[in-house]
Chains A and B, each alone.
Chain A
Amino acid sequence: MAFHSVEALCTAAGAVPLWEAVLLDDCQDRGVARDASFSRMAALWEAMKQSVRDYDPDKRSACGLTGGTGAQVEQAAVGLMSPFVTAVMSTALKVGECNACMGRIVAAPTAGASGVLPAVLLPMQKARGFSDEEAVRALFVAAGFGQVIATRASIAGAEGGCQAEIGSASAMGAAALVSLMGGTPEQMSFACASALQNLMGLVCDPVAGLVELPCVRRNVIGSLNALAAAELALAGVRNVIPCDEVIDAMRAVGDSLPSSLRETGGGGLAATPTGRHIAEMLSGHTQN
């Protein structure tokens, strides 16, 4: 089964809420019971929460480039943004750093973009008192939109650039937020489209080919973009280009990206003198 268009996803959400349409489709697709599907998603939510709880500000990645900034933002932010937004930023950094430092995370949709969904959902749960069950429902919404993006376009940086990883995570997060706030399926599709189009063209240019720089910090921008897209949609702002067309455009942009900007470590930040220097230093030391 699986959903191949946002249009079909929204149509399926006629009789039941959109999250439930995604759950029912999963039950049919994998031949599992309703409880099994829900509890598997609930386990992912629990693991997301755990990855934030387990954050260790003293941990550094194997190459030493990454670590500590999640706590730094939490403690030393000067207040340009509200405490809620600062919490979103620090959560995104914490999970991104946890991933870079070989901690346990949930790929959503990828490991490199694993900070976005926890960053938009966890501070929201804390600020507004949503239950775990409501958060898990929002994850079904995120998964439903993510499935369409993966089917029509891509969720792999090596194929579609960072727009396919952070862009997709942001679009999934935007739709999830709208669902959490009680928005309509149409508003979810507006939010998804809006988030995706704002990050369209974002290239995958990791320094030394590692999921660290700029990946960790792009989780921050993906999260803030998701909040903005959801806020717009919930305020009733419509998106002109339909969500499926935005996804198709993202694919076309990804296809036209040169290989140097698709996770090869050959272009963008990776190709800067500093980026190259870091890569050379890292390839210098070997183990075993």
Chain B
Amino acid sequence: MNIFDIMGPIMVGPSSSHTAGAARIGYIARRLLGCQPARAEILLHGSFAATGQGHGTDRALVAGLLGMAPDDPRLPASFELAHKAGMVFSISNTVLRGAHPNTVLLRLSDGAGQTVEVNASSLGGGRIRVNAIDGMEATFTGDYPTLIIRNEDRPGQVAEVASLLSWRGVNIATMQLYRDKRGGLAVMVIESDQPIQQNMIEVLRTSPGMVRVTYLNPERGN
């Protein structure tokens, strides 16, 4: 834990877990969709459902979906800003089996056929963890430079990504692989010690079999 985990973050109140963490989850989900959602279904679980309204969890999630950081002073006005921006959203409560008390399920679509479903939890102090993407287990916190790659499940995909990273001197800290079914859709989550350059991400995006490539850089506040 570094000293800026103790002092900070700068954030819009009232709660680092229920407000700042929620804003980050919304933002990361937006990044996983790849653009501003046209529609968002927000399902709150546990303490998010019980005290989310009083803590502004709902407004913080929508703010994140609009691309705001947890310290954006416009955060409390996110509902109004979403309406202006033409983003349609709904908020309701749900029960997710075995989930962390501060968990949300976000179903996003860009209005042109692209969708993503993100299950994520707020762990306290503004730190978060994504638990699943499109129903597939995929665990990461966004504390490290993180590549989230959705690809076709076929031979050579992992090797291609790993060799590209090693060629550019990027050390892989952790790597996780998941798939829905054999030959179906797979998710690769790679946390690295070094930031990944934008041109490498473009190369990955154009590689055969890659469905969607998302890169989160914590140094830029994601």
A249 on the B face (CB < 8 A) = no
Inter-subunit contact A107/B126 (CB<8 Å) = yes
Inter-subunit contact B51/A104 (CB<8 Å) = no
Q: For residues 233 through 288 of chain A, which have their beta carbon under 8 Å from a beta carbon of chain B?
A: 265, 282-283, 286-288
Inter-subunit contact B3/A212 (CB<8 Å) = no
Q: For residues 88 through 121 of chain A, which have their beta carbon under 8 Å from a beta carbon of chain B?
A: 98-112, 114
Closest to A47 in B: B10
A11 on the B face (CB < 8 A) = no
B211 on the A face (CB < 8 A) = no
Inter-subunit contact B73/A26 (CB<8 Å) = no
Contact of B19 among A2, A111, A142, A156 (CB under 8 A): A111
Q: For residues 44 through 77 of chain B, which have their beta carbon under 8 Å from a beta carbon of chain A?
A: 47, 50-51, 53-56, 58-59, 71, 73, 75-76
Q: How far is the CA of A104 from the CA of B20 in the complex (A)?
A: 11
Inter-subunit contact B7/A212 (CB<8 Å) = no
Question: Which residues in A have their C-beta under 8 angstroms from that of B126?
Answer: 107
Q: A41-B7, A104-B10, A111-B16 are in contact. Are A211 and B55 (CB under 8 A)?
A: yes
Question: Which residues in A have their C-beta under 8 angstroms from that of B159?
Answer: none
Contact of A288 among B7, B19, B90 (CB under 8 A): B90
Tell me the number of A-to-B contacts counted with CB atoms below 8 Å: 135
Inter-subunit contact B11/A104 (CB<8 Å) = yes
Question: Which residues in A have their C-beta under 8 angstroms from that of B2?
Answer: 2, 26, 29-30, 147
Inter-subunit contact A208/B6 (CB<8 Å) = no
Closest to A151 in B: B1
Question: Which residues in A have their C-beta under 8 angstroms from that of B71?
Answer: 47, 104
Other than the given A111-B19, A288-B92, 4 more pairs (CB < 8 A) read A105-B10, A147-B3, A150-B6, A210-B55
CB-CB nearest 9 A-B residue pairs = A99-B13, A209-B51, A143-B3, A146-B6, A211-B14, A102-B76, A210-B54, A47-B10, A143-B7
Please list 17 pairs of residues, one from A and one from B, whose beta carbons are closer than 8 Å in the complex, sorted by A's number.
A26-B4, A61-B14, A98-B13, A102-B12, A102-B56, A103-B12, A103-B73, A105-B12, A106-B11, A107-B9, A107-B10, A114-B13, A143-B7, A209-B54, A210-B55, A211-B13, A288-B92
Interface of B with A (CB < 8 Å)? 1-16, 19-20, 47, 50-51, 53-56, 58-59, 71, 73, 75-76, 90-92, 124-126
